[in-house]
């Protein structure tokens, strides 16, 4: 009898532990299941942007790094800067409004692919809670004739590997009043403003070098200047910046002959392409373009033959499609870009992105319109 009672106590004790084990295991099942599928949660935050969806594109030029110099009464060039450029404070405010508006940077190169002598839009991945935005910057030359008139002199790589602006007549000479360091600083504070390391596209001419370095063919110190420019290009590319062609001489396409256009393209490919690498991106100077029927204008053909596949104009609306519209045996992929400068701010052309009145720098020589 004693042995039987011992057996029962042992049996029920074992049964109790088994039941507790089952209950405890069941209570942790939801936690374990949630931990088992992190990839599914992450993938749900990414969507596919279709071929026909809106991809916004904003552009500007080098910034007015030193408004106090640019807008001085004796500086005639300041009028041009006021019309064509932003101040550092304006650019910082714009980035803040874009971020608050749900935009994030997309790499334009991931939105299309070459298709023979043309190109086509392709779907691309993007955060589900963000709107794709492309930024580009034209005429990043820092021309010799304009040095000391309110802009920086050139871009430089600091000892820590960061990209900054340099102005010889300013203290400190190395500073952050330019679009590259401002955007880099903003992304460092708001990493979700850049998807897959996207930055902006820098559209370069070549007539007076690039990025503030005199790399043009008649430069007396061309070899050394090219070496310095390549250092900056390498640093920019490592951070995600891309490059495009803005012609060599920044001329008016509709005033060029076919031969002058080909000459312009050859110079750019001979002098600039070796420094920045091949590119399929071309921004028409002044936003002027001439395609011709079936894209048969010889000036446009010169650009296509040179390997350019995505072309950019200037326009306030989100426009990214093949041109010309309607029936045409040949078409080119074309995107308009909304300008950010003094003129567009005073006209509030970018109203769907930000309120220009809240962005406008009061140091400008022209007051913001009252209405």
pLDDT, one tens digit per residue, over 267-303 is: 999 999 999 999 999 999 999 999 988 889 999 999 9
Only one residue has tokens 């022209």, namely: 366
pLDDT value, residue 294: 85
**For residue 347, is pLDDT > 90?**
yes
Residue 320 parent element (H or E)? strand 320-323
Residue 138 parent element (H or E)? strand 131-138
Quote the number of domains for the chain.
Answer: 1
131, part of any domain = yes
282, part of any domain = yes
16, part of any domain = no
User: d(Cα 148, Cα 66) in Å, to the nearest integer?
Assistant: 9
19, part of any domain = no
pLDDT value, residue 13: 44
Decide: 133 and 151 in contact? Cβ < 8 Å: no
pLDDT in tens, 306-344: 999 999 999 999 999 999 988 888 999 999 999 999 999
User: d(Cα 229, Cα 156) in Å, to the nearest integer?
Assistant: 9
184, part of any domain = yes
27, part of any domain = no
pLDDT value, residue 133: 98
CA dihedral 239, 161, 154, 183 (to 10 degrees): 40
Domain extent, residue 271, equals: 38-359
% the chain with pLDDT above 90 = 83
Tokens found for residue 326: 């309607």
User: d(Cα 269, Cα 272) in Å, to the nearest integer?
Assistant: 6
**For residue 16, is pLDDT > 50?**
no
DSSP letters spanning 18-66: HHHHHHHHHHTHHHHHHHT-HHHHHHTTEEEE-TTS--EEEEEES--S-
% the chain with pLDDT above 70 = 88
370, part of any domain = no
CA–CA distance from 180 to each of 23, 242, 248 (Å)?
A: 59, 12, 22
Q: Show Cβ contacts of residue 344 under 8 Å, excluding neighbours closer than 6 positions.
A: 338, 350, 356
**For residue 29, is pLDDT > 70?**
no
CATH assignment at residue 347? 3.20.20.370
User: d(Cα 340, Cα 60) in Å, to the nearest integer?
Assistant: 5
367, part of any domain = no
HSE-up (13 A, CA, CB side) for residue 316: 11
């Amino acid at each position: 009898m004693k042995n039987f009672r011992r057996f029962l106590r042992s049996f029920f004790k074992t049964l109790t532990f088994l039941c507790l084990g089952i209950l405890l295991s069941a209570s942790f099942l939801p936690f374990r299941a949630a931990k088992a599928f992190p990839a599914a949660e992450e993938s749900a935050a990414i969507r596919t942007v279709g071929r026909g969806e809106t991809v916004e594109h904003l552009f500007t030029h080098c910034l007015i790094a030193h408004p106090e110099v640019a807008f001085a009464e004796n500086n005639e060039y300041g009028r041009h800067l006021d019309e064509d450029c932003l101040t550092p404070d304006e650019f910082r405010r714009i980035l803040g409004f874009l971020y608050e508006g749900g935009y994030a940077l997309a790499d334009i190169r991931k939105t299309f692919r070459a298709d023979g002598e043309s190109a086509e839009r392709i779907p691309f991945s993007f955060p589900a809670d963000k709107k794709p935005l492309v930024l580009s910057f034209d005429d990043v030359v820092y021309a010799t004739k304009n040095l000391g008139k309110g802009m920086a002199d050139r871009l430089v790589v600091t000892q820590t590997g960061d990209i900054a602006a340099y102005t010889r007549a300013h203290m400190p000479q190395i500073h952050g009043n330019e679009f590259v360091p401002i955007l880099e600083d903003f992304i460092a504070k708001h990493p979700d403003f850049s998807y897959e390391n996207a930055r902006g596209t820098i559209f370069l001419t070549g007539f007076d070098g690039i990025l503030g370095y005199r790399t043009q063919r008649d430069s007396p110190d061309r070899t050394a200047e090219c070496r310095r420019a390549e250092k900056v290009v390498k640093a920019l590319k490592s951070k995600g910046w891309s490059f495009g062609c803005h012609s060599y001489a920044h001329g008016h396409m509709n005033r060029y002959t076919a031969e002058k256009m080909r000459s312009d393209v050859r110079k750019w490919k001979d002098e600039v392409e070796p420094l920045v690498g091949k590119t399929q991106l071309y921004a028409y100077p002044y936003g002027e373009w001439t395609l011709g029927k079936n894209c048969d204008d010889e000036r446009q053909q010169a650009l296509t033959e040179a390997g350019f596949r995505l072309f950019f104009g200037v326009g306030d609306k989100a426009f990214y499609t093949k041109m010309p519209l309607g029936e045409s045996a040949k078409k080119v992929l074309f995107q308009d870009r909304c300008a950010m400068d003094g003129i567009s701010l005073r006209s509030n052309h970018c109203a769907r992105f930000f309120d220009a009145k809240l962005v406008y720098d009061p140091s400008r020589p022209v007051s913001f319109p009252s209405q």
